[in-house]
Amino acid sequence: MPQIIGTVPVYADDNGEVFVDPADVDSDSEEAGFLGLGKRARLSRIDRRLGRLERRRGRVLSKFDDYEEEVPMEAAPQADVYQAAAAAGMISENQFNGLGNVSLVASGTGSLSDTINRNLWGKSLVLTSDAPDQVIVTGVTVAGLPVNVGSQGAPLSMFAHDSTRFGISFGRRLALTGQTFQVNLQNVDAGNAHNVNGGIIADELNPYAMQRYMESMLLAAASQGFGGMGY
């Protein structure tokens, strides 16, 4: 007749499976443990625990639709944001934004500026004047950030449409709705006033494409009962 000769600890995992857990199975001894399983038993138990953790992870991830470990948009480099928007068809290239006209009195200063009413990336600045050799550009700011890297003024002719660089390329400077492009100017002619006008060539974040994109996101969320958004 069978007799009880001892006991051994057991445990059950999340799936209801039951496993033997020898009392000193974590010992470094090759012969340790109630069953004498030693290191092989310890490794087996670690593997089972890793398996259970992986199953738990899978169950958590299954609650989210289209789960991806992505870099937050605010942390993404600007170039990557532009490329992502371009790939989604939300960029209208080579749009223009006027900066108006300013009259500079003799030896006077002034500025051209415009408040942006659409999100855009400024690429090139083009300036003209009735006396480009008498006017210098003392500073350019985009959304409050300076473009010029030095403290001295530059001749307006650098920004002419027929200059060797076809205007000054910004390399795409982002300005959001409500932010400002500004060009500071100085008339170095002590005897005459001169006029300056200018504009920006830019790539625009197309508001209509952006609107359609947001609408599609809202419709997708509504059709799923916002389940994929963690609500």
Average pLDDT over every residue of 125-138? 94
Average pLDDT, the chain: 76
pLDDT of residue 198: 94
**Cα 207 from Cα 179, distance rounded (Å):** 16
* 187 C-beta neighbours (distance < 10 Å), count: 24
pLDDT of residue 86: 80
**Cα 98 from Cα 113, distance rounded (Å):** 9
pLDDT of residue 158: 87
**Cα 103 from Cα 86, distance rounded (Å):** 38
Q: Are 93 and 203 in contact (CB under 8 A)?
A: yes
**Cα 80 from Cα 106, distance rounded (Å):** 45
Answer whether 0.85 is exceeded by the pTM. Answer: no
> How confident is residue 140, by pLDDT bands cut at 50, 70 and 90?
very high
Residue 89, classed as helix, strand or coil, is coil
pLDDT of residue 41: 57
Judge whether residue 52 has pLDDT over 90. no
pLDDT of residue 64: 58
Q: What CA–CA distances, in Å, run from 172 to 177, 181, 184?
A: 16, 13, 20
* 225 C-beta neighbours (distance < 10 Å), count: 9
pLDDT in tens, 70-123: 444 444 555 577 787 787 778 888 899 999 999 999 999 999 999 999 889 898
Judge whether residue 51 has pLDDT over 70. yes
Q: What CA–CA distances, in Å, run from 91 to 1, 98, 208, 210?
A: 84, 19, 10, 9
At residue 32, what are phi and psi to the nearest 5 degrees? -70, 165
Q: How many helices (H) and strands (E) does the chain have?
A: 3, 11
Greater model confidence, 6 or 102: 102
Q: Give 19's strand partners.
A: 11
User: Any idea of the CA torsion for 6, 9, 13, 15, to the nearest 10 degrees?
Assistant: 10
